[in-house]
Amino acid sequence: MPSRAYVSAFGFKGPDQQKPAGVLSGGERNRLNLALTLKQGGNLLLLDEPTNDLDVETLGSLENALLEFPGCAVVISHDRWFLDRVATHILAYEGESKWFWFEGNFESYEENKIARLGIDAARPHRATYRKLTR
């Protein structure tokens, strides 16, 4: 894909493609860094809440880039819809220091969780914290 078409998928159209990176807003710089990181490739991507502050078009570009990414992407996200489309494996914290490894998308994980732990496990729970002691 030509570079102009690639960056336009991340929201940089026409004159925006000619701007120096130093004059871009914080959100534009984040989109530019995301586009460059995905284009450069590598074996491992660590993405913490990558869908925050993305418009629908850029979100679609991120999804497509992740689906074509040849390496491993570790994604931390509360966006279940996004996870359902891009995740192939789930490492889920299930409370009380328990982690569960699942092969499949997020919807399949949720179904498995209900089958293993019951319907109450699928309902959100308020996090509880222990007070720090000295």
- Indicate the pairing of strand 89-93 with strand 72-76: unpaired
| Among the ranges given (7-16, 27-36, 86-95, 121-130), the one the predictor scored with the smallest mean pLDDT | 121-130
Radius of gyration in angstroms for the set of CA atoms belonging to the chain, rounded to a whole number? 18
Q: Are 90 and 109 in contact (CB under 8 A)?
A: yes
pLDDT confidence band for 107 (50 / 70 / 90): very high
pLDDT confidence band for 10 (50 / 70 / 90): confident
pLDDT confidence band for 88 (50 / 70 / 90): very high
- For helices 56-68 and 26-40, give the axis angle rounded to 10 degrees: 20
- Closest by CA to 36, choosing from 56, 13, 60, 12, is 12
Cite the DSSP H helix spans in the chain.
3-8, 26-40, 56-68, 80-86, 106-117
Using one digit for the tens of pLDDT, what is the confidence trace for 52-83?
888 888 888 889 989 988 889 999 999 999 99
